[in-house]
Amino acid sequence: MPFELTPDQTLIVDTARAFADEQLRPNAARWEAEERLDRPTLREMAALGFAGIYVREDVGGAGLGRLDAALIFEQLSRGCVSTAAFVSIHNMCSWMLDTFGSDEQRRRFLPGLAKMDLIASYCLTEPNAGSDAASLRTSARADGNAHYVLNGAKAFISGGGFSDLYVVMARTGEEGPKGVSTFLVEAGTPGLSFGKAEEKMGWRAQPTALVQFDDCRVPPENRIGPEGEGFKYAMRGLDGGRLNIAACSLGGASDALDRALLYARDRKQFGRALADFQATQFKLADMATELEAARTLLYEAARRLDAKDPEATKFCAMAKRFVTDAGFRVADEALQIHGGYGYLRDFEVERIVRDLRVHKILEGTNEIMRVIVAREMLKA
């Protein structure tokens, strides 16, 4: 078996699944209706090691790998896709700080991030710089040796106005990727403000807002690494982020399939259970097959990223494209099996469909994933 889990990984899966079943699934619909994340629940997840998954242990991290993270987010998303996806973004911020930050920055911020006493948001996308991230316009101008002055805006930021720390890519130099640097902007910094909460199709349990910088003064000790390295940091973080979002799609779709199975067994039409009709059986078989294929590709991509395989970026892009497409299709078919009831909030499948739709867009659209895969193929 190519992906036989170790005893430790089996424990990780069981722990994440139990937490999803007991703490996330019963509350997911309420959190969406209230449009809020629950800080105590986030801290409980952190206590299990899920907020610093691949952060080193000397600052409170779990010191795990990318496959471990995929296993965790797959299971957490069975309970609440929106919450699990938010925690995956927090983990990407923690990883970036642990990997590229100074020892002083690591010790200052990471213990709090690992406990989710501090919550982090990732700020790359701008109103006019989505897929073309290297064209970002947010500027960071050095004001002597005392501060950088940030001006600009970041769009579609998960946790905007909710988080305590913002990992911001801003332009300190020339046009293009070589002029971008990375800064840590703490909540409450003068000049940092937020737009109204976005009204979204899905991910409604997590706040999303514009993050605005108006002469926002950041001390130089809050810059991660040298000037001009920020775009490299952002791109290196995307491979892992793509795997995490794919894992969230896999978990959410698996939950939708489980719900469809239960409904098909219980629902009677024309004197027979839906599950007795061959048309329904074919749907269920195709859904299960797609998810198994998606799981295999996801785990292989995660294994390659852990091993620093030279083809890891290609496989991460392949996995993100395939798994998020498959996950959305499976969730949509689960809604179809529910018929009209699938369209009602009480049955919760429609929430999964809405939550999974954005996964085909973020962390690089699936069209961009195809560009990356083809580019890597043509290098050979």
pLDDT for res 177 = 86
How far apart CA 174 and CA 274 sit, in angstroms, is 62
Q: Are 205 and 288 in a shared domain?
A: no
In a domain, 12, yes or no: yes
pLDDT for res 131 = 77
In a domain, 1, yes or no: no
- How many Cβ atoms sit within 10 Å of the Cβ of residue 1? 4
Catalytically active residues are 363
How far apart CA 369 and CA 245 sit, in angstroms, is 13
What single string gives the DSSP state of each residue in 118-167?
Answer: S-EEEE--BTTBSS-GGG---EEEEETTTEEEEEEEEEEEETTTT-SEEE
* pLDDT over 90 (residue 174): no
Q: Are 72 and 131 in a shared domain?
A: no
Cβ pair 231, 243 in contact under 8 A: no
What residue numbers bound the domain in which 131 lies? 121-226
Structure tokens at 36: 């809020």
Cβ pair 344, 376 in contact under 8 A: no
**pLDDT band (50, 70, 90) for residue 1:** very low
How far apart CA 148 and CA 142 sit, in angstroms, is 4
Of 86, 119, 152, the position where a domain reaches its end is: 119
The model's pLDDT over 10-68, given as tens digits with 9 standing for 90+, comes to 999 999 999 999 999 999 999 999 999 999 999 999 999 999 999 999 999 999 999 99
pLDDT above 70 covers a percentage of the chain that reads: 99
The reply to whether the predicted model has a pTM over 0.85 is yes
Per-residue pLDDT averaged across 219-240, rounded? 93
Q: Are 147 and 220 in a shared domain?
A: yes
Q: Are 340 and 360 in a shared domain?
A: yes
In a domain, 320, yes or no: yes
**CATH number reported for the structural domain that contains residue 72 in this entry:** 1.10.540.10
Give backbone dihedrals phi and psi of 213, rounded to 5 degrees, phi first: -120, 120
Of 119, 137, 161, the position where a domain reaches its end is: 119
Q: Are 326 and 214 in a shared domain?
A: no
The model's pLDDT over 118-161, given as tens digits with 9 standing for 90+, comes to 999 999 999 987 778 788 999 999 998 889 999 999 999 999 99
